[in-house]
Structure formats: C-alpha cells, structure tokens
Amino acid sequence: MMYNPQLETFLRVADAGSFNKAAEELFITPPAVIKQITSLESSLDLKLFIRSPRGLKLTEAGKSIYRDAHDTTFVGPSIYEESGIYY
C-alpha cells in the first residue's frame, strides 16, 4: 500500500468543510490544498466537492471516495503498525 498525500488532504478537507481549515491542520497553505484537490479530481476525472460561499460539500462521488479513502488511510496503516510491518 502506498501513502497518497492527496487522499489525506482530501479527507482533511472533507472533514473540515473548508480549504483554509484543512490547510491549518496540515500546516500547508490554502493554495497548496486547493492544488492537491484539483489534481486529485483531475486524475480521477471526478468532481469531489460542491463549492459554495458557505463551504464545501462532498458530491456523491466524493462520498464514495471518502469512505474508501478513510478505510485505506486510517484502517489500513493501523493494521500494518499493529503487525510490526512498516511501509
């Protein structure tokens, strides 16, 4: 399993509902967060967020990716750590 920083950024943005809040949590700039999300959307050929003045909401595709990414990012690595295998 490979670590994908774009997926971690995606999860942070989805949880925070804002590029700015996610950037603060990740200790990077908001433009860097936006660039990662745009790149992820482009590589998947999917729109992951509905952007509005009130914040961000996940699209249906975004919700599906969120579930899969959350399991892979947070459950997957913990299995390796518990087994003593590091990647």
- pLDDT for 84 equals 52
Query: How do residues 32-66 score in pLDDT, each as one tens digit?
Result: 999 999 999 999 999 999 999 988 999 999 999 99
CATH of the domain at 78: 1.10.10.10
pLDDT for position 79: 43
Query: What does the angle CA 34 – CA 39 – CA 43 come to, to the nearest 5 degrees?
Result: 150
**CA nearest to 10, candidates 25, 28, 22:** 22
User: pTM for this structure?
Assistant: 0.79
What separation in angstroms does the CA of 57 have from each of 1, 31, 35, 39?
28, 18, 17, 18
Q: Is pLDDT at 8 greater than 50 in this prediction?
A: yes
| Within a domain: 87 | no
Instruction: Identify whether 35 is part of a domain.
Output: yes
Residue 45 C-alpha from the chain's centroid: 15
**What pLDDT digit, counting tens, does each position of 11-20 carry?**
999 999 999 9
pLDDT at 32: 98
Instruction: State the total domains in the chain.
Output: 1
Do the Cβ atoms of 61 and 47 come closer than 8 Å? yes
For residue 11, tell me if it sits in a domain: yes
